[in-house]
Chains A and B, each alone.
Chain A
Amino acid sequence: MTTPDNLKYTKTHEWVRQEPDGTATVGITFHAQDMLGDIVFVEHPAVGRQVKQGEECGVIESVKAAADIYAPLSGEIVAINRELDDAPEKINQDAYGAWMFRIKPDNSAEFAGLLDAKAYRQVAESGKR
């Protein structure tokens, strides 16, 4: 499944999963990793940083190119996935397992405004970023 139905998405190719504790887990989509090719380096946002929805808060470098990662929701960064420091290729191997960071959202209404799987599939197919 390249775009799971149980997740939310952004036009900038992040996926977002709402957790039972109210936080949101963020990664990049299968389509995004496929466009980037082999990923070799991840730059995380700092834990504790306050981000606004749409703000640039990290970088993924593939052999081919660098891509900015945008915060899908406003809030505080509460965790980052340090496993990716030594194994960034996990994003290529399992885009929806290899999460990047967790946000504690300021405003849960923003979550409802994210794209659903069907809408994201259209974004991915149109090939625009």
Chain B
Amino acid sequence: MLPPLKRTPLNEAHREMGAKLIDFAGWEMPLSYGSQIEEHHSVRRDAGMFDVSHMLVLDVRGAGARDFLRFLLANNVERLREPGKALYSCMLNEEGGVLDDLIVYFLAEDWFRLVVNAGTAERDCAWIGAQRDRRARQLEIAPRRDLAMIAVQGPLAREKTWRALPDSRAATERLGAFCAAAWLDALIARTGYTGEDGFEIMLPGGKAAALWRALAAQGVAPAGLAARDTLRLEAGMNLYGQDMDEGTSPLESGLAWTVELGSLREFIGKQPLLARPVRCQLTGLVLLDRGVMRARQKVSTARGAGEITSGGFSPTLNRSIALARVPREVRPGDEVEVEVRDRRLHAKVVKPPFVRNGNVLINLEPRRTQSTQRT
């Protein structure tokens, strides 16, 4: 028998607010609270909030934490100089495949914090623990399941957070993007996964429901995993397990900007990345015909075959968009064909992101009026 689903401290609040709950990586999480498109628009136009407590916070504490992370992560934690500064990075295996993508926060010279995906949390703990045992036995790696995390996202997200938590304003008003500040027993970070401004707030689980309700009282709309997926896709952000995994190179996943290859620093997975030619790229597609692209559909280009890694409907653009792994010679502006069930539909290659901070960043051609009848 399957083990029961894990619940976050906000589970009861989700039920009260009418959430449709689903199994996500062993956690009972809200898919939506009604219309996922309305939740999407709330985040683009106003403010929405997500329970992301299923993600795992891992504290790395002790002398030499920075050196350990310099070797563990593909991005360089040397770039983190000010306490509170955050960095997005991949964690690679020995073959250069992506074990996970994560955010690392520099809190103090002997205290860094990682936030990793829920679906990979156990494997990450085992991997990081094994690396610690080999290289830095003095370090403590502490999973913080006592913490909950709420992402408040949207153009009005910060303002509404300050209305819900008036005393936090002074501590967080001057935070730049990808920076965090401690406030009481919470860590408030100006980060997110939607392409909008906002905060991600880590706080003791017992205090999460009160914050959630206070945010709702300020008109922050609860939003589920379904809206989170369309928002991150529009923002051109990768989803682990879908756009990249342990079998794919970050250099073929649109993540070369996060991998520091040009320095002398050695890190896990670096040598195989240097040795292997880059043959593919992750790029964006916009469907020109009517229909919806989905993950795993085949793409034909003038330069060879490719595959959709994430596809769906963009509520902001009102048409289907996708991320696709295609030969590296494919260029923005090229037209490709996508096999959508039994039809071949036309799509245009664009450079992601599609949408950021409420603005459409790609050139939208009028939709083609191809027949939508099947014979």
A residues within 8 Å of B by Cβ?
37-38, 40-47, 49, 57-59, 61, 63-64, 66, 80, 85, 92
Within 8 Å of chain A (Cβ to Cβ): is B37? yes
The one of A41, A57, A64 that contacts B290, using a Cβ cutoff of 8 Å: A41
Give 7 new A-B contacts, CB below 8 A, not counting A63-B36, A63-B313.
Answer: A38-B36, A41-B291, A41-B313, A43-B373, A43-B374, A45-B373, A59-B374
Nearest 9 A/B pairs, CB to CB = A46-B373, A61-B292, A38-B37, A46-B375, A40-B313, A63-B313, A44-B373, A43-B372, A38-B35
Closest Cβ–Cβ distance, residue B134 to chain A (whole Å): 43
Which A-chain residue is minimally distant from B318 (CB atoms)?
A40
18 CB < 8 A contacts A-B: A38-B36, A41-B290, A41-B292, A41-B313, A43-B291, A46-B373, A46-B375, A59-B341, A59-B374, A61-B292, A61-B313, A63-B230, A63-B312, A64-B226, A66-B292, A66-B294, A85-B290, A92-B35
Within 8 Å of chain A (Cβ to Cβ): is B75? no
What residues on B are CB-neighbors of A80 within 8 Å? 373
Which A-chain residue is minimally distant from B39 (CB atoms)?
A38
Would A85 and B375 count as touching, CB distance under 8 A? no
Q: A114 vs B226: C-alpha distance in the bound complex, in angstroms?
A: 34
Closest Cβ–Cβ distance, residue A101 to chain B (whole Å): 10
Within 8 Å of chain A (Cβ to Cβ): is B32? yes
Closest Cβ–Cβ distance, residue A45 to chain B (whole Å): 6
What residues on A are CB-neighbors of B313 within 8 Å? 40-41, 61, 63
Interface size on B, residues (CB 8 A): 18
Would B226 and A37 count as touching, CB distance under 8 A? yes
Which residues of chain B (266-323) have a CB below 8 Å from chain A? 290-292, 294, 312-313, 315
Would A42 and B372 count as touching, CB distance under 8 A? yes
Q: A29 vs B373: C-alpha distance in the bound complex, in angstroms?
A: 21
Q: A44 vs B290: C-alpha distance in the bound complex, in angstroms?
A: 12
Would A45 and B374 count as touching, CB distance under 8 A? yes
Would B226 and A61 count as touching, CB distance under 8 A? no
Would B374 and A66 count as touching, CB distance under 8 A? no
What residues on A are CB-neighbors of B372 within 8 Å? 42-44, 85
Q: A66 vs B373: C-alpha distance in the bound complex, in angstroms?
A: 16
Would B374 and A57 count as touching, CB distance under 8 A? yes
Closest Cβ–Cβ distance, residue B293 to chain A (whole Å): 10
User: Looking at A40, A42, A46, A49, which has the most chain B CB atoms within 10 Å of its CB?
Assistant: A40
Q: A64 vs B313: C-alpha distance in the bound complex, in angstroms?
A: 9
Q: A29 vs B65: C-alpha distance in the bound complex, in angstroms?
A: 57
What residues on A are CB-neighbors of B374 within 8 Å? 43-46, 57-59
Closest Cβ–Cβ distance, residue B294 to chain A (whole Å): 7
What residues on B are CB-neighbors of A45 within 8 Å? 373-374
Which residues of chain B (118-137) have a CB below 8 Å from chain A? none
Would B375 and A63 count as touching, CB distance under 8 A? no
Closest Cβ–Cβ distance, residue A50 to chain B (whole Å): 11
Closest Cβ–Cβ distance, residue A48 to chain B (whole Å): 9
Would B291 and A49 count as touching, CB distance under 8 A? no
Would B292 and A40 count as touching, CB distance under 8 A? yes
Q: A45 vs B375: C-alpha distance in the bound complex, in angstroms?
A: 6
Q: A66 vs B59: C-alpha distance in the bound complex, in angstroms?
A: 41
What residues on A are CB-neighbors of B290 within 8 Å? 41, 43, 85
Closest Cβ–Cβ distance, residue A44 to chain B (whole Å): 5
Q: A64 vs B291: C-alpha distance in the bound complex, in angstroms?
A: 13
What residues on A are CB-neighbors of B315 within 8 Å? 63
Which B-chain residue is minimally distant from A49 (CB atoms)?
B375
Which residues of chain B (217-236) have a CB below 8 Å from chain A? 226, 230
Which residues of chain B (29-71) have a CB below 8 Å from chain A? 32, 35-37
Q: A59 vs B290: C-alpha distance in the bound complex, in angstroms?
A: 12
What residues on A are CB-neighbors of B373 within 8 Å? 43-47, 80
Q: A85 vs B313: C-alpha distance in the bound complex, in angstroms?
A: 15
